[in-house]
């Protein structure tokens, strides 16, 4: 337990501010119980499972992940999730999403992925020990499962939504795709598989895609096998805690969404939009000075070019210039543009030009004194040609605060920062007020 004591010394200094006395108690007796908050008890096994899952991603990004980090995450998740359950409605905690996967499906998939990663080698060994080294001996497919039967049960009718009718739902629930002892009910119904799909998957099934149904059913059975196998390896307390942790992660996410902090890339988050609307002109002016580099743009660029008729020649010229041929010599030797005798000079291309062409956009993203790749001219601008550019000089500037796009982006950036501060303040308060129990052997000796 000496290593555990060192491990928790760091955690305690993080959880208990010097000026506050949080409800830290050293009351856990069992040596495998590390921490408890509310009804959640975290064991060393659970910490190892989550550490294993996140370690590869952390290493790929150059970060160091430790058991201390994992413990902090899981305790924070628990505190934030409990706060969410007290303050959010049932609709906010379990929003209906008619496009993505249902929440319970997401939780199931995360649990399967977590356990499959952690127990990978023994699970693979157990599958290899089965007859045929697969799940065939554990399932019995319904011989009546055909494309015609699938269409008769849930085929999408013209003019209707992709939702099943009450009659179709009842028929799908009563049709067994396969029998298996891995499923709690002893069988897997067509409705079980249908309800596990996102919108694309539901459409595939309603279009009579029997191969897709077989594939999704096998994936589901594989997940059930992982859960059945892993549950036998874990204590009942760890199994329950594992599912609670995954639910906590989901509810913390719902809380962050309600605060305007987390959202899907396509979502219009009302909380973020409302906070952005409250950003004052004074805040925008101060924020513009702080984030001015975010609005840097190219004001003008002094450019030369080579124009040729086909891509193969253009690519060969670029390679030749990169190999040492001067751009000026390449202009004289290869360009078919009328300005080849003037060195291919396009002069200063300006952002303020009223007659801007596609070459302006291309030139503004090229670095100075470096040959560009070959660019194909737009199809709708006459004969197709290929342009190679060289930027001799570039002058940068900044979009003004008066620009509507700047004001929109900046107000949302400042709103995100303010909301993040709100989250940090809430997190700090929850940590301060938390009633956390730790193993009694971890009490600091001093």
Mean pLDDT, rounded, for 280-298:
93
Selected residue with higher pLDDT from 396 and 10: 396
Looking at the chain, the whole-number percentage of residues with pLDDT higher than 70 is: 91
pLDDT the model gives residue 65? 82
**Could you give the angle at which helices 147-154 and 210-233 cross, rounded to 10 degrees?**
90
Spell out the domains of the chain, with CATH numbers in brackets.
90-258 (no CATH), 270-291+402-433 (no CATH), 293-398 (3.10.50.40)
pLDDT the model gives residue 15? 45
Task: Give pLDDT tens digits for 361-381.
Answer: 999 999 999 999 999 999 776
Quick check: 265 pLDDT over 60?
no
Mean pLDDT, rounded, for 49-67:
84
pLDDT the model gives residue 160? 58
Task: Give pLDDT tens digits for 209-259.
Answer: 999 999 999 999 999 999 999 999 999 999 999 999 999 999 999 999 899
Task: Give pLDDT tens digits for 387-426.
Answer: 999 999 999 999 999 999 999 999 999 999 999 999 999 9
Mean pLDDT of the chain: 89
Confidence of residue 266 (pLDDT cuts 50, 70, 90): very low
């Amino acid at each position: 337990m000496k290593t555990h004591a060192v491990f928790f010394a760091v955690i305690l200094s993080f959880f208990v501010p010097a000026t506050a006395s949080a409800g830290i108690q050293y009351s856990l007796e069992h040596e495998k119980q590390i921490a408890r908050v509310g009804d959640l008890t975290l064991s060393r096994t659970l910490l190892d499972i989550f550490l294993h899952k996140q370690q590869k991603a952390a290493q790929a990004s150059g970060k160091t992940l430790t058991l201390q980090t994992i413990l902090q995450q899981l305790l924070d998740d628990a505190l934030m999730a409990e706060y969410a359950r007290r303050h959010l409605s049932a609709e906010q905690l379990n929003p209906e999403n008619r496009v993505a996967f249902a929440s319970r499906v997401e939780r199931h998939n995360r649990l399967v992925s977590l356990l499959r990663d952690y127990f990978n080698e023994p699970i693979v060994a157990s599958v290899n020990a089965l007859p045929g080294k697969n799940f065939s001996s554990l399932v019995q497919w319904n011989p009546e499962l055909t494309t015609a039967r699938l269409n008769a049960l849930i085929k999408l009718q013209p003019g209707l939504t992709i939702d099943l009718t009450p009659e179709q739902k009842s028929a799908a629930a009563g049709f067994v795709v396969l029998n298996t002892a891995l499923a709690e009910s002893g069988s897997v119904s067509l409705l079980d598989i249908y309800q596990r799909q996102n919108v694309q998957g539901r459409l595939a099934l309603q279009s009579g895609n029997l191969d897709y149904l077989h594939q999704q059913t096998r994936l589901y059975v594989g997940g059930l096998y992982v859960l059945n196998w892993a549950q036998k390896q874990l204590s009942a307390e760890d199994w329950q805690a594992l599912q609670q942790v995954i639910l906590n992660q989901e509810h913390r996410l719902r809380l962050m969404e309600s605060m305007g902090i987390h959202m899907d890339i396509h979502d219009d988050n009302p909380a973020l939009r409302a906070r952005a609307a409250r950003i004052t002109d004074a805040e925008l002016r101060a924020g513009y000075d702080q984030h001015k580099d975010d609005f840097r743009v190219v004001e003008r660029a002094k450019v030369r070019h080579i124009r040729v008729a086909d891509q193969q020649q253009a690519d060969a010229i670029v390679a030749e210039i990169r190999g040492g041929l001067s751009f000026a010599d390449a202009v004289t030797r290869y360009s078919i543009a009328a300005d080849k005798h003037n060195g291919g000079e396009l002069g200063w291309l300006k952002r303020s030009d009223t007659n801007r062409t596609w070459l302006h956009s291309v030139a503004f993203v090229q670095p100075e004194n470096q040959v560009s790749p070959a660019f194909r001219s737009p199809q709708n601008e006459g004969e197709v040609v290929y342009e190679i550019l060289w930027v001799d000089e570039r002058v940068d500037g900044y979009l003004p605060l008066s620009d509507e796009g700047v004001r929109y982006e900046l107000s949302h950036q400042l709103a995100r920062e303010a909301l993040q501060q709100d989250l940090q303040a809430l997190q700090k308060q929850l940590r301060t007020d938390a009633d956390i129990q730790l193993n009694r052997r971890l009490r600091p000796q001093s």
